[in-house]
Structure 1
Amino acid sequence: MSTLEIRDLHVSVETDQGEEKPILRGIDLTINTDEIHAIMGPNGSGKSTLAYSIAGHPGYIIKQGSVKLDGEELLDKPADVRARAGLFLAMQYPVEIPGVTVSNFLRTAKTAIDGKAPRLRDWLREVKGSMKELRMSDDFLERNVNENFSGGEKKRHEILQMELLKPKFAILDETDSGLDVDALRIVSEGVNRVREANHTGLLLITHYTRILRYIKPQFVHVIVKGRVAEEGGPELAVRLEDEGYDRFLDPNEALV
C-alpha cells in the first residue's frame, strides 16, 4: 500500500497586479491506494488549485506545508519527477498539442515514466485494447493531441493515459465536465477498471454527484474558501446534492 499525505498546505497565486492572493489555507488529506476520495465544493473554493499544486504546476506558489508520497517530499520536485513517483493528473481543460500525434505522445510519456521504451508489439496490443474498452477507434492514434477533440474525446484520452501509465495516485479534475450520459458512463467504467487493476488511489474533484453514481467514493471532503469545511462518507455527497453549499457560506463574504 502507498500513501499520499498532504499536510497544512497553503497555496497562493499571483494576480495581474503582481500581488499574491491566498487560495488554499491549510489543507490536510491522507489518501491510500485502493481508496476513492471525492473533493467537492463551490466554484472558486480551491479544488483545482489543490490538484495543480499536488501535480507541480509552476504557476502556484506554495507558502507552507508538505505533500509526501510514501514519506518522500514532493513539493521541492518538478512535475516530471512527481509523475515518475506515481502521480497522475487528468486536467479539467486538457491542452492541445499541434503537430504531436496521440500515438507518439502516449509512447513518449510511457518511456519517460518507466525509464525505457515499451516493446512495440506489446505496447500496441495494450494501447488498442484500452482504446477498445473506451470506445475509441484506431484512427484516433494519428490525430494531434486534443486538437479538435470533442469534450468526450478529451476525457477518454485522459483516462487512456491513466490506464497506460498506471499511476499510484490519480487526480481527476472535474472529469465529468462536458460529458453526456453515455460518455460519462464509458469514462467512469474506464476509471473503475484502472483503479481495480492497479489499486490506484483516486482524488476525484467534482461539483455534482452524477459521476459519484458510477465511481463510488469511500470519503467525501468539502472545500470552502481554501479549507476543508466538512468530511464524511458517501452520504455527505447525497446531502450536498439536496442542500447545496449555502450552509457553508456567509452571504456577506467573498468566496475566497
Structure 2
Amino acid sequence: MSTLEIKDLHVSVETKEGPKPILRGVDLTIDSGKTHAIMGPNGSGKSTLAYSLAGHPKYQVTSGSVSLDGHDVLAMSVDERARAGLFLAMQYPVEVPGVSVSNFLRTAKTAIDGEAPALRTWIKDVKGAMEALRMDPAFAERNVNEGFSGGEKKRHEILQMELLKPKFAILDETDSGLDVDALRIVSEGVNRVKGNTDTGFLLITHYTRILRYITPDFVHVFVDGRIAEEGGPELADRLENEGYDRFLTSATA
C-alpha cells in the first residue's frame, strides 16, 4: 500500500502583475488502488494541481506539503518524483523531434527502474500494450508526438503509463479532444492498469463522460483553487444534471 498525501497546499503562478494565487489550501489523500476524480469549471486550478505535483517550475508552492509514503515530494526534482512513483499524463503532450517512441519508452523505463528491461520481455510488453490500445506497430518508430493526432497523443500517454506502472497516475483531462471510440480505448487502458496494478489515480476532467467508462471511488469538486465538495460516484451524476452554478455562486458570494 502507498499513500499520496496533500496537506493545505497553496500554489501561485508568476504573471506580469506579479505572483497570482491559484491553489488556496488543498487537502487530499489518495491510497493505492483508489481512483479520485477532480471535477470543476475552467480556471478552478485543476491543472495547476496536476503540474504542481509533477514539479513544473512555472508553479510555485507557497505553503503546504505533499508526501508520498512519508517522503517529501516537494523536495524532489522532477525526475526524482517520477522514480518515486508519480506519473503525469499531460493535457497537451509535447513533441520531441528526433526521439522515436520506442527509444523514449525504453529510456524512460530504464530511468525509472534503475536498470534496462530484459529486451525480449520488453518487446513483448510493448507490443501487447500497443495492440490493446489499437496502435499500429509502425507507431513505435515515429518521433514522440510529432504529427500525432489528439487521439494518438493520448493513447501514447496511456501506453507510457501501462509500461512504467507508477504508484500514482495523474491524468490531466485525458478525455479532452477525444472522439467516442478513442475515449473508450483510452478508458480501457486505464482500467487495465487499475485491474493489474495497485496504481492510485487522480483523474482530472470537466465532464462526466469519461466517468461512464472509469468508475471513481471518490469525486471532488474543485472551485476557486480548493475542494468545495466531496462524495462518491453519485456526485458526478449530480454535476451532470446541475452543473457548477451553485458552487460558483457560493464562491463569489
What do residues 119-141 of structure 1 show as CA deviations (whole Å, max 9, x unaligned)?
Answer: 11111111001000000011000
Normalization by structure 2: what TM-score? Answer: 0.98
Q: Alpha carbon RMSD of aligned pairs, Å?
A: 1.3
Q: Structure 1 residues 231, 122: closer, same or farther in 2, change over 3 A?
A: same
The 2-side partners of 1:49 and 1:196 are apart by: 28
What does residue 4 of structure 1 align with? Answer: 4
1:122 corresponds in structure 2 to: 121
Q: Tell me the secondary structure at the aligned position of residue 152 of structure 1.
A: helix
C-alpha displacement of 1:92: 0.2
Q: Name the residue aligned to 1:136.
A: 135
Once the two structures are TM-superposed, the CA of residue 199 in structure 1 deviates from its matched residue by 1.4
User: Could you say which residue in structure 1 is the equivalent of 2:165?
Assistant: 166
- One-letter amino acid of the counterpart of residue 202, structure 1: F
Write the mapping of 1:176-187 to structure 2, written as runs, cut at 5 A: 176-187=175-186
| Partners of 1:253 and 1:247 in 2: CA distance | 10
**Secondary structure at 1:124 match in 2:** helix
Deviation at 1:48, TM superposition (A): 0.2
Aligned residues: 253
Q: Residue in 2 aligned with 1:207? A: 206
Q: Where does residue 239 of structure 1 map in the other structure?
A: 238
- CA-to-aligned-CA distance 1:30-55 (integer Å, 9 cap, x gap): 00011000000000000000000011
Instruction: Map Cα deviations across residues 153-200 of structure 1 (whole Å, 9 max, x no partner).
Output: 000000000000000100000000010001100100000001211111
Tell me the distance in 1 between the aligned counterparts of 2:251 and 2:192: 44
CA distance in 1, matches of 2:242, 2:249: 15
C-alpha contact 2:8 2:27 (8 A) present in aligned 1 = yes
Query: In structure 2, how many angstroms separate the alpha carbons of the residues matched to 1:139 and 1:121?
Result: 18
SS in 1 for 2:98: strand
1:10-21 paired onto structure 2 within 5 Å: 10-17=10-17, 19-21=18-20
Gaps of 5+ in 2: none
Separation in structure 2 between the aligned mates of residue 153 and residue 64 of structure 1, nearest angstrom: 37
Structure 1 residue 16, shift from structure 2 partner: 2.7
What letter is aligned with 1:22? P
Residues 41-84 of structure 1: CA distance to partner in whole angstroms, max 9, x if unpaired? 00000000000001111110000011100111100111110110
Alpha-carbon separation, structure 2, partners of 1:30 and 1:95: 29
Residue 32 in structure 1 maps to residue 31 in structure 2: yes
The 2-side partners of 1:130 and 1:209 are apart by 26
| CA shift digits 1:10-35 (9 cap, x unpaired) | 00000034x00000000000000110
Rounded to whole Å, the distance in 1 between the matches of 2:175 and 2:238 is 19
> Matched residues in 2 for 1:252 and 1:163: separation?
38
CA contact (8 A) 2:224 2:251 kept: no
Aligned-partner SS, 1:208: coil
2:235 & 2:53 partners in 1: Cα distance? 24
Query: For each residue in 1:82-106, what CA deviation from the matched residue of structure 2 results, as whole angstroms up to 9, or x when unmatched?
Result: 1100000000000000111001100
Residue number in structure 1 paired with 2:190: 191
Question: Share of identical aligned residues, percent?
Answer: 77
Q: Distance in 2 between matches of 1:195 and 1:251?
A: 35
Q: Given residue 245 of structure 2, which amino acid in structure 1 is its aligned partner? A: D
Off by >6 Å, runs of 4+ in structure 1: none
When the two structures are superposed, what TM-score results if normalisation uses the length of structure 1? 0.97
